[in-house]
Structure 1
Amino acid sequence: MSNMTRTTTESSITIHELRKSYAKTRKGEQPYAVDGVSFEVPRGQFVTLLGPSGCGKTTTLRCIAGLEQPDDGQIIMAGQTVFDGARSIQIRPEDRPIAMVPQSYGIWPHMTVLDNAAFPLRHGRNRKGQQNIKQRTLEMLEQVGLSAYADRWATQLSGGQQQRLALARALLSEPEVLLLDEPLSNLDAKLRAKLRLELRAFQEQFGVTSVYVTHDQAEALALSDIVVVMNQGRIEQIDRPERLYQQPKSAFVADFIGSANLIPAREVTSVSGGVLAKTDVGTFLCAGEGQETTTTALGGNVCVRPENVEIDAATYSRNGLSDRNEMSGRVIGAEFLGDRLELVIDLAGTKLTASAPAALTARPGDDVVVRVNPTHARYLAS
């Protein structure tokens, strides 16, 4: 399998203005399940399509696979145009340089583990000229930890083992692109956490370009080089996992990726070093990358992650508070979670969630001071 190693950074997939609709409304309108989606998948990278149910991520993956025919747009894969709405090009799934691991794994129950894995070598698009099929298959099963089960019926494997078998079969077809449609969703939480580490290790080992679909934020952040966040058929943001979390570009992304306090802004003004946002609970200076604005704006939200809220439960003077990023509140909820204390604080009628040190003595009814470092406050216009 050494010929699968990728050493360049060129794109394996280019999606341009992809659109797909399933039905028209009574008024004759055509709602799109995928509405003008464009992105690139760099060669050898692990890219995840992330979003809530019905956002268009699975439809996008099925269009890439050729299982759905888009209404418009373009899909280029490994330098070949496999779909072009304007030129009426639609390459069949079996002729695309892909392999797919579906949610149900697609394991054939009447075949042994060896025969399941060897299927693409015997019957796939590259079957001609294949030699030493059994040896190559056993070598792949060894790499995914299934060589001892080669002669067993596939139905005798556990859920995790079936997932590895589906992956082995996909890799043996030597795809340019590996497509994975929520392959861990049928497993329990503990096994999912274990297998996502294995999946990422296998992807890096073989260097195959991968497109993964999930609604699980933890999976997306843990597995991906790049995450494409989708909402209502459109892309909200494309970025590295750490930037998605630390620098969301919209309220949807901030709220969907992890936990976020979104405080409505009444007025926003550009200042030296960032943005000054006036809210009903106080004024926030939002500093840092991507916070520049040149005009006074209305609306939007100030985004603050719970772990970035500083709590001071000591006695204080209300008159001594700063006019920025510091305000008084009252604890209305507290949960001890072992390593931290999750607090809900009432700030002039607005609820703020904070993750405080476990040793903090604040309890419901206590008055506290809330502080937010400007570098941890982010203004989101949408």
Structure 2
Amino acid sequence: MIRIDGLKKNYGNYTALENIDLELLNGEFIAILGPSGCGKTTLLRLLAGFMKPTEGTISIDDEIAASSSKLVPPEKRNISMVFQSFALWPHMTVEEHIRFPLKHHRFGKTNAKEEQEKRVSEALEMVGLSHLKDRYPAELSGGQKQRVALARAIVPKPSLLLMDEPLSALDAELRMEMRREIGAIHRKMGTTIIYVTHDQGEALAMADRIVVMNHGKIEQIGTPESIYNTPQSVFVSTFVGKGNLIKGEWVNEDKFIPADFPAVSWTDIGIAKEIKAQNLYPVRPEQWKLGEVDQNQMTGIVQFAQFQGNEIHYSIQSGEEMINVYASVFEKRFLPGDSVSLKIYTGTAQKAVLVGSR
């Protein structure tokens, strides 16, 4: 188990991390999600042992690994790391890369030739590179290079695997494929994984829990479902899922009246107090139901309609708000210039209901 208490990191007068508290269970897949400059890579570097925190502690299995006065270096921690840049050596073959940790990793080192052969073979098979074991990095595609880096990281069987935006250099199709590979490896090995990313799709698809960060602080920690469906701050509601923040007024704890539509009211569907305090109502693009103009509903004018295969993405001007709506291609189609009403779906996918008007 890894425990982070009151972690802070300063670079001169700049505070990169402030008051970070986090507990990671053995075997958990944790995604650290946030925009560039939010502190997620700094947190990863502290967990790796590359530097000391300014304040606070990092404990691994109840022993302090880092504090302002103590630092257990990376080579004395049972960890591996996968970098965005692959970090492969041009003079070594795929097989030599994967064998390297078995010769030099403090915790994964083994001198038994048969054991080395077995573990290298298992790692190659896990990442689907058995047929390319004699190739050099210059002879590999981007996706193959990332598989080599991944196999090299997992072959010593670390207790903690750190991944710093490992898929950002790959194209969209390869990213989807590698997500499946990493997920399968995690299920098979049970290693604790901390995965840094700015891609919400990766975090939602792969993680057991997500840590959303902004300006060096943790905004919210939770399962992908709780982060997406019940954001606890304005930042989380817009960064994860690109939600619409509708302005208006909370008349009381459970009734919201959108601006410019006094005849409309929406009920509370579990909206956080912080968001309510700013008189906002978050709505995901897929929560909207478009229909013909109804004066008892919020209305707007379609500005753009983009075909996206199984969805139509609409941009709708409603008063001063530009609202994003994702609608199924099987629903009634609207064109730019059409006037529409906007209702809100709530509930589960199996049983959706509409937030009614008063």
TM normalised by structure 2 equals 0.88
Residue identity matched to 1:328: T
CA displacement at 1:128 relative to structure 2? 5.9
CA displacement at 1:349 relative to structure 2? 2.8
**Percent identity between the aligned chains?**
40
Q: Structure 2: give runs of 5+ residues left out of the alignment.
A: 348-352
Matched, 1:337 2:316: no
* Worse-superposed segment, 159-168 or 198-207: 159-168
Q: How does 1:150-169 map to 2 (within 5 A)?
A: 150-169=133-152
Residue identity matched to 1:363: L
Equivalent residue, structure 2, for 1:218: 201
Matched, 1:309 2:288: yes
**Using the alignment, how far apart are the partners of 1:373 and 1:162 within structure 2?**
44
Q: Does the CA-based 8 Å contact 2:102-2:110 persist in structure 1?
A: no
1:292–1:102 distance in 2 versus 1, CA, 3 Å: closer
**Using the alignment, how far apart are the partners of 1:246 and 1:279 within structure 2?**
20
**Using the alignment, how far apart are the partners of 1:17 and 1:52 within structure 2?**
22
* Worse-superposed segment, 276-285 or 103-112: 276-285
Residue identity matched to 1:299: Q
Equivalent residue, structure 2, for 1:176: 159
Matched, 1:252 2:235: yes
Equivalent residue, structure 1, for 2:324: 353
Equivalent residue, structure 1, for 2:81: 100
Structure 2 SS opposite 1:265: strand
1:299–1:139 distance in 2 versus 1, CA, 3 Å: closer
Q: Does the CA-based 8 Å contact 1:268-1:299 persist in structure 2?
A: no
CA displacement at 1:33 relative to structure 2? 0.6
Equivalent residue, structure 2, for 1:138: 121
**Using the alignment, how far apart are the partners of 1:334 and 1:21 within structure 2?**
46
1:298–1:139 distance in 2 versus 1, CA, 3 Å: closer
Residue identity matched to 1:142: E
**Using the alignment, how far apart are the partners of 2:31 and 2:354 within structure 1?**
27
Taking only aligned residues, the RMSD between alpha carbons, in angstroms, comes to 2.3
Q: Kindly provide the CA deviation profile for residues 282-339 of structure 1, in whole angstroms up to 9, marking residues without a partner as x.
A: 354333346679xxx752410011211111126x5x3xx2xxxx22333333333343
CA displacement at 1:265 relative to structure 2? 3.3
Runs of 4+ off more than 6 Å? none
Structure 2 SS opposite 1:169: helix
Q: How does 1:180-199 map to 2 (within 5 A)?
A: 180-199=163-182
Structure 1 SS opposite 2:125: helix
**Using the alignment, how far apart are the partners of 1:365 and 1:129 within structure 2?**
69
CA displacement at 1:374 relative to structure 2? 5.8
Match of 1:64 among 31, 42, 47: 47
Matched, 1:21 2:10: yes
TM normalised by structure 1 equals 0.83
Structure 2 SS opposite 1:33: strand
Q: Does the CA-based 8 Å contact 2:50-2:74 persist in structure 1?
A: yes
Equivalent residue, structure 2, for 1:3: none
Residue identity matched to 1:23: G
Equivalent residue, structure 2, for 1:74: 57
CA displacement at 1:107 relative to structure 2? 1.4
**Using the alignment, how far apart are the partners of 2:282 and 2:128 within structure 1?**
45
Structure 2 SS opposite 1:302: strand
Residue identity matched to 1:74: T
* Worse-superposed segment, 120-129 or 230-239: 120-129
Residue identity matched to 1:349: E
Equivalent residue, structure 2, for 1:366: 338
Matched, 1:109 2:90: yes
1:118–1:367 distance in 2 versus 1, CA, 3 Å: same
